[in-house]
Structure 1
């Protein structure tokens, strides 16, 4: 784990800032009030943008990215697949166990949630956010795979935007995306730290 941290200090620093800042906001404001503050109408372009970006970590989107990673480097691709599957299992297990209501059910007033064309508001299994889990797991996977300090911030920003899209679209509370980000990051980090492929020795006759 320390080796992974030393190789990707930029990404770990960005994620640490996220954990501290968002964690403090949730503690100070509360997840429900913070949702109300963040669930704002930013206009038609934002509606379309967040509808599209949230689909990057849909089943189809994740599958395409994993296939591309497998073709690029099968070892890295397998690690990425393990990280995504393990994080998904953890998140969906928590969803079923906690069975928390989504925002429009929690507030018992759908009018508090903006109606966005093409977005169906779901009623339950809010905690944690599956999209946020996938976004942060995939961002970490891409940062670890490409190992480029110039790209790491962009992968992180992508994950943050996808996570925020879940609040913007009225599907999740800040606490949902926060815990989802932790599950995704931890799953990817543990996979990269402990999944090791043995190198085959070539004997020269």
Structure 2
């Protein structure tokens, strides 16, 4: 954990500042007030881009996209990426559907009370905490630091990607900032803490692959990624019809 943070100070500093901002916002405006403040900041020209960006946090979109980019170079990292998304995703779903199952989303909370800006008919009402898309985006992107050396520019870009994808969840009206904060914390910490016990053994295992087995593994990972992207795109399209 320490090495990942030491090697990527810009990334973790920016994420830390983002968490601090959300924490202060929640402290001074409240759980519901913070949502109304951020959700009110919208523009028609930004609606469609935000709608597209918010679905980058979908496990069937972001994970296979990263897998296609990384499989040839580091199949162990792709296996770790998949494992991290599954592990943190299951934790998020357990929290969302069991522990905090009574936490409704903004559209339900503010029904008949205040206007909630939504986009493209994308409306959800229940199981708000934590934000699953924010969690997946944070976990998947942070996991990449386990096997890739990133310069200052890439650290900034990846941190901004997590911030933007998680922010869109509030922009499109489906999550409170507190949901987003919790999701990103779980994702970042999960991917960071599991590097040593999970990624390093996977790396050692795949390094012992023969060239033929390595190529076969890469082909399988790419095939799974392509099918996942197609399935994810279809499910997203179906959900807004």
TM-score (norm 2): 0.77
* 1:18 is the counterpart of 2:21: no
Cα distance in 1 for partners of 2:118, 2:181 equals 24
Corresponding position of 2:129? 127
Cα distance in 2 for partners of 1:19, 1:111 equals 26
Q: Secondary structure in 1 aligned to 2:28? A: helix
Shift in Å at residue 59 of structure 1? 3.5
Corresponding position of 2:143? 141
Cα distance in 1 for partners of 2:167, 2:67 equals 26
Q: Secondary structure in 1 aligned to 2:71? A: helix
Corresponding position of 1:175? 178
Cα distance change on mapping 1:19 and 1:42 into 2, 3 Å: closer
Shift in Å at residue 6 of structure 1? 1.5
Pairwise CA RMSD of aligned residues? 1.9
Cα distance in 2 for partners of 1:111, 1:32 equals 11
Alignment of 1:1-205 (within 5 A): 1-68=1-68, 69-97=70-98, 98-99=100-101, 100-109=103-112, 112-116=115-119, 118-149=120-151, 150-195=153-198, 196-197=200-201, 198=204
Cα distance change on mapping 1:9 and 1:115 into 2, 3 Å: closer
Shift in Å at residue 57 of structure 1? 2.2
Cα distance change on mapping 1:144 and 1:114 into 2, 3 Å: same
Cα distance change on mapping 1:12 and 1:63 into 2, 3 Å: closer
Corresponding position of 2:211? none
Corresponding position of 2:233? none
TM-score (norm 1): 0.89
Counting matched residue pairs gives 200
Asked if structure 2 preserves the Cα contact closer than 8 Å seen for 1:143 and 1:155, the reply is no
Shift in Å at residue 180 of structure 1? 0.3
Unmatched runs of 5 consecutive residues or more in structure 2: 209-241
Cα distance change on mapping 1:63 and 1:20 into 2, 3 Å: closer
Shift in Å at residue 20 of structure 1? 1.9
